[in-house]
Structure 1
Amino acid sequence: MGRRRAAREARREARREARTSTDVAALLLRVTIGPMMMTHGLNKVFGPGGIEGTTRWFDGLGFKPAGVHARMAATTEIGTGALLTLGAMTPMAAAGVVGVMTSAAATDHKGKGFFIFKGGWEYVAVVGAVATAIAALGPGRISVDGLRGRPHGSFFRALLAAGLGVPAAQGVLRTRQEPEAAAG
């Protein structure tokens, strides 16, 4: 009887340690991607050229009306970054990140290959994948969602993040007019 009890206690302790590791991993992912997204959004508003510069950039990418799209992208990046950092509404925040990264891959990074140092899509793919992984993993117990009794992710929540983010990006991209090639 003593061995069974000891084995049961050992299993419980292993589960507790696994939960703690998962919570720490989720926290590290969230506090890496969340502030990074917020910084990108804030840069669109307050960086060199401000929102006017971002509007000109978006106009060059074919987004019409460019000002609306620039503000929408900045707001989405700031909002989803804050939510991910806090671990609040995690699947929806992840969906927003997936949407922004899908739009970026299909516009600014399109046709530039894989490597980010050549303007390629590797960075946006990693950020989108990490957001989806956060939805799958869950925000962990060290989060607003965790305090509300929703610390766990799931395959369904990962599908939700991708399944809402990608179509949302496609909807935004449908409003875009392909920019004309520069006359050589």
Structure 2
Amino acid sequence: MVDQARPVVLLLARIAIGAIFLVHGYQKFATMGIAGTTKFFESVGIPLAGVAAPAVAALEVVGGVALILGAALPIVGVLLALDMLGAIAFVHGANGLTGESGYELVLALAAASLAVGFTGGGALALDRAILRRRSTAPVTA
């Protein structure tokens, strides 16, 4: 029964985690705007804030979509985990694990990104479909 549920559970986990990243990245573009995000990044001491703000926003949008689809999972998982470690280092870390604006959610997102990234995403992941296709493709000389 666990084996039968695994693909659906992994899909639901990918959708939930991916949606969180997608929305946060979208907010950096649409709600705050890149100028506002850059200003915030500068205020918390993120180096090269003018480069980091659009890069992080794009990573969170594209990475969120990639998680949902199950595409490039190990790469996306590592990049999103690093993104969250940066958020802990520059924004949430000083607030403690569970205090106001603490880093508990950010740490959970980092761990979840790595976990999903290195599970292979399950049978309903794009990565799995591509690998399956490659393994069944006829060999031509």
Give TM-score scaled by structure 2 length: 0.87
Is 1:74 matched with 2:57? yes
On the 8 A contact 1:26/1:138 being kept in 2, the answer is no
Is 1:64 matched with 2:47? yes
Is 1:83 matched with 2:66? yes
| Deviation for aligned residue 1:63 | 2.1
| Deviation for aligned residue 1:18 | 3.3
| Deviation for aligned residue 1:148 | 1.5
- CA 135–64 in structure 1, closer or farther in 2 if over 3 Å, else same: closer
Is 1:102 matched with 2:85? yes
Is 1:147 matched with 2:129? yes
Q: Distance in 1 between matches of 2:72 and 2:46?
A: 28
The structure with the largest alpha-carbon Rg is 1
Code of the aligned partner of 1:75: A
The correspondence of residues 1-184 of structure 1 with structure 2, limited to 5 A, is 17-47=1-31, 49-115=32-98, 118-149=100-131
| Deviation for aligned residue 1:19 | 2.9
On the 8 A contact 2:11/2:122 being kept in 1, the answer is yes
Mark the runs of 5 or more structure 1 residues left unpaired by the alignment: 1-16, 151-184
Q: Distance in 2 between matches of 1:19 and 1:88?
A: 21
Aligned partner of residue 108 in structure 1, secondary structure: helix
Percent of pairs with identical residues? 32
Aligned partner of residue 137 in structure 1, secondary structure: coil
| Deviation for aligned residue 1:125 | 0.7
Code of the aligned partner of 2:21: M
| Deviation for aligned residue 1:83 | 0.6
After superposition, the CA RMSD in angstroms is: 1.4
Aligned partner of residue 111 in structure 1, secondary structure: helix
Q: Distance in 2 between matches of 1:124 and 1:66?
A: 20
| Deviation for aligned residue 1:44 | 0.4
Code of the aligned partner of 2:60: E
| Deviation for aligned residue 1:149 | 2.9
Report the number of matched residues: 132
Code of the aligned partner of 2:83: V
Give TM-score scaled by structure 1 length: 0.68
Aligned partner of residue 52 in structure 1, secondary structure: helix
Q: Distance in 1 between matches of 2:80 and 2:48?
A: 21
Q: Distance in 1 between matches of 2:76 and 2:98?
A: 26
| Deviation for aligned residue 1:97 | 1.1
Q: Distance in 2 between matches of 1:131 and 1:52?
A: 27
